Amino acid sequence: MPDSRRSNCPVSCTLEIIGDKWTLLVIRDLIMGKKTYSEFEQSPESIPTNILAERLKRLQSHGIVRRNQYQERPPRYAYELTDKGKALKPVLLAMMKWGHENLADTLSLEDIRRMQK
């Protein structure tokens, strides 16, 4: 579904998928190993729950994220990045680097890794 692109510029087309304030945060969480809906909700930025649900569906429809039911009763789901989704990692890393180097009081990759443990 290319549903009428603005142009065939790869940057423009990419922004039509991930160009907003929340989508890349979900992808960040997935890269950091988070898997479930409630884990995404618990991230410090407090994404509104309807936005989270909508973004996860969008990302699935674009083949960036996959949803697996890992338990029958009660039903539980794990989200994960596809190869196409994992390929976004360089975009995330470039943003992380820029943010850390150019915006005051932002964490480095090392700070974040330390907090994971």
Binding site for its own copies (CB under 8 A): 2, 6-17, 19-22, 24-25, 28, 43-46, 84, 87-88, 90-108, 112
Give the sign of the dihedral formed by CA 54, CA 59, CA 36, CA 73. Answer: positive
The answer to whether 75 contacts DNA (rule: CB under 7 A) is: yes
Give the sign of the dihedral formed by CA 54, CA 61, CA 37, CA 113. Answer: negative
The answer to whether 44 contacts DNA (rule: CB under 7 A) is: no
Residue selected from 32, 37, 81, 92 as contacting DNA according to rule CB under 7 A: 37
Closer of 53 and 109 to its own copies (Cβ): 109
d(Cα 51, Cα 28) in Å, to the nearest integer? 16
d(Cα 66, Cα 116) in Å, to the nearest integer? 23
Binding-site ranges for DNA (CB under 7 A): 20-22, 36-39, 46-51, 53-54, 56, 67, 72-78
